[in-house]
Structure 1
Amino acid sequence: MSTSLAILLSALAMSAIVGLRYLAVSGGFALATRLRSRGLYRGLDRQIAREIGWSLASAAIYGIPAGIVAWGWAEHGWTRVYSDVGAYPIWWLPASVLAYLFAHDTWFYWTHRLMHRPRWFRAMHAVHHASRPPTAWAAMSFHPLEALTGALVIPALVFIVPIHVGALFVVLTIMTVMGVTNHMGWEMFPRGLVHGRLGRWLITASHHQRHHDRYACNYGLYFRVWDRLCGTDGGIGGFTGNNR
């Protein structure tokens, strides 16, 4: 098999994996939403169809750089992803997860703020905010250019920050689950966490929903650190009947 064909197949395979992961996770939480709050998505069928369409296009865009990097890692040892747990101190396993999440959160915060400037918002980010209200299907509902800004982060980090393949899987899982749950229209975490000390620093649906309501605040992805440092933290909102 030629190198170019192998890279193409890897990119296509990774795009399919990202798409199926999106359908499985978003579909699971959408089902949970319908069981928990049956009328929450009533009348949003056309919106949800658009969200799924944009999200599957984003999945293809996310899969291309990931597939290329995955091929390079498997064939030539590109990246600093390692499989031997003993290659680094054991404490680096959780530390690397936090390092990746914080780096991703930093990139997301600043690019997200940029995309809320009128010119960039109209050109790209308006696609995401067309979901009113967002649903569990909206997590990857992006304009292709916005999807591209998100698709490059993790593939770039694996060349810079060493991470065990299992820890990388944890990062991708957190990224997917938080992306979906922050948009699904209700809070799945207990009130004690959301309104407690930990909730002052972590982003959940209650925090991100306020961003979709007010636009000019709460730009973070995982943590409230940058929002607090930069004075853009708008606090948390509430959902009818949540936190039961």
Structure 2
Amino acid sequence: MEYLLDFADEHVLDKAYAYLLPAKDFLPTTSSLLKETASARLSNSSTSSTLASFASTLYKHIPHPPVDLSNALTSPLASAWPRDYIPRQFASLYLITLLGIVLMYFSIATMSYYFIFNHEMMNHPRFLKGQVKMEIKSSCIAFPWITLMTVPWFVAEVRGYGSYYNKIEDYGIAYAIFSIPFFLLFTDTAIYWIHRIEHHPSIYKHVHKPHHKWIIPTPFASHAFHPLDGYVQSVPYHLFPALFPLHKKIYLGLFTAVNFWSIFIHDSDMVTGSRFEKIINGPAHHTLHHLYFTVNYGQYFTLSDRLGNSYRQPAPELDPIHEVNRRKEAQLLEQKLKAE
């Protein structure tokens, strides 16, 4: 996230913070006017009352960073909140992460919905009325809360905590390549057990049940979680670089890829016969998980399910499209009988 934060600071956020919280307003001679100045500036925006109240609260409760007086008087981009100020980093990363997940969700899930998802599945008897809208609403409610719980990990990253590194030569190209399958195997195993524990009756109804409302999911169900459920299942992605060295760009790529994968496996697809079917936990496997609940808990691989005796092999006869076809045939027969 450090690369995204630096890019956002340079092109957008430096100007935004300089406008909203200019350094000159924090000079010792005018610091008493901060509250009024911030409120006055924010009152001109469309979200005046909320932002003004927020600025007032920050002024009262957050320690103010030291201001470079010479820079404050000469630079138009001087903000009272410098780039390395923790509240600024938290706020910036929250906005970047939330915007990123929302854009990715709506772009990738929409493309998957229109170009991959079989719309005949919407005629399945267990497909809910208005389900797509409910999936989107559930996701949009969850995103701000999941992001809020996730951002501390990203703040720790940009402040130098964890085992992230910048230069491939620090650990060599061989380790950099190895770290990719290592990350996937580690996170898959951890998510398997988190997911399986969430299916325990004492936990399931409180945390994971909302996601299983979608028996026949669409790609929009990929992030339609209870916020705590969505966050807990993401913890292994952050735990890995806290324990093992991981190049920052590789981490950013993997974090993006796993979110793509989450969308991909929620398209209710039951195409079978792939040579990798017994190794890779794909859409067919996850479709069976939503249908039968207690099988195929894994995220990318089938190994943990095999070892945990929870694996179910996808097969053509298990395809939920058969139920759709039977329902269609019954409706045609009913119409024919009525016509006679």
Conserved? CA contact 2:270–2:314, under 8 Å: no
Which of 210, 217, 223 is the equivalent residue of 2:295? 217
1:73 matched to which residue of 2?
157
Conserved? CA contact 1:218–1:233, under 8 Å: yes
Q: 1:45 to 1:26 in 2, by over 3 A?
A: farther
SS in structure 2 opposite 1:39? Answer: helix
Q: 1:33 to 1:40 in 2, by over 3 A?
A: farther
Structure 1 segment 194-205 matched on structure 2, within 5 A: 194=274, 196=275, 198-205=276-283
Q: Percent identity?
A: 21
1:151 matched to which residue of 2?
234
Conserved? CA contact 2:267–2:283, under 8 Å: yes
Q: 1:105 to 1:133 in 2, by over 3 A?
A: same
**Cα deviation, residue 8, structure 1:** 2.3
**Cα deviation, residue 204, structure 1:** 0.6
Q: Which amino acid aligns with 2:228?
A: L
| C-alpha distance in structure 2 between counterparts of 1:89 and 1:6, whole Å | 30
**Cα deviation, residue 72, structure 1:** 3.5
Q: Which amino acid aligns with 2:235?
A: L
1:114 matched to which residue of 2?
197
Structure 1 length-normalised TM: 0.85
1:57 matched to which residue of 2?
141
Structure 2 length-normalised TM: 0.63
1:6 aligns with 2:89: yes
Q: Which region of structure 1 is more displaced relative to structure 2, 145-154 or 106-115?
A: 145-154
Which of 280, 287, 312 is the equivalent residue of 1:234? 312
| C-alpha distance in structure 2 between counterparts of 1:93 and 1:24, whole Å | 30
**Cα deviation, residue 139, structure 1:** 0.9
Q: Deviations over 1:138-158 (max 9, x none)?
A: 111111221221232222222
Q: 1:65 to 1:117 in 2, by over 3 A?
A: closer
Determine which structure has more spread, i.e. the larger CA radius of gyration.
2
Conserved? CA contact 2:168–2:247, under 8 Å: yes
Q: Which amino acid aligns with 2:134?
A: R
SS in structure 2 opposite 1:159? Answer: helix
Q: Which ranges of structure 2 fall in alignment gaps of 5 or more residues?
A: 1-80, 323-340
Q: Which ranges of structure 1 fall in alignment gaps of 5 or more residues?
A: none
**Cα deviation, residue 91, structure 1:** 1.5
Conserved? CA contact 2:94–2:148, under 8 Å: yes
1:103 aligns with 2:181: no
Which of 161, 180, 190 is the equivalent residue of 2:244? 161
How many residues in Structure 1 have an aligned counterpart in Structure 2?
A: 233
SS in structure 2 opposite 1:132? Answer: coil
Conserved? CA contact 1:209–1:237, under 8 Å: no
Q: 1:219 to 1:88 in 2, by over 3 A?
A: same
Higher relative contact order (CA 8 A, sep 6+): 1
Conserved? CA contact 1:201–1:224, under 8 Å: yes
Q: 1:50 to 1:38 in 2, by over 3 A?
A: closer
Which of 230, 249, 253 is the equivalent residue of 1:170? 253
Conserved? CA contact 1:69–1:155, under 8 Å: yes
Which of 65, 76, 87 is the equivalent residue of 2:170? 87
Q: Deviations over 1:119-160 (max 9, x none)?
A: 212112110110121111111111122122123222222221
Conserved? CA contact 1:13–1:67, under 8 Å: no
| C-alpha distance in structure 1 between counterparts of 2:181 and 2:119, whole Å | 36
1:17 aligns with 2:100: yes
SS in structure 1 opposite 2:242? Answer: coil
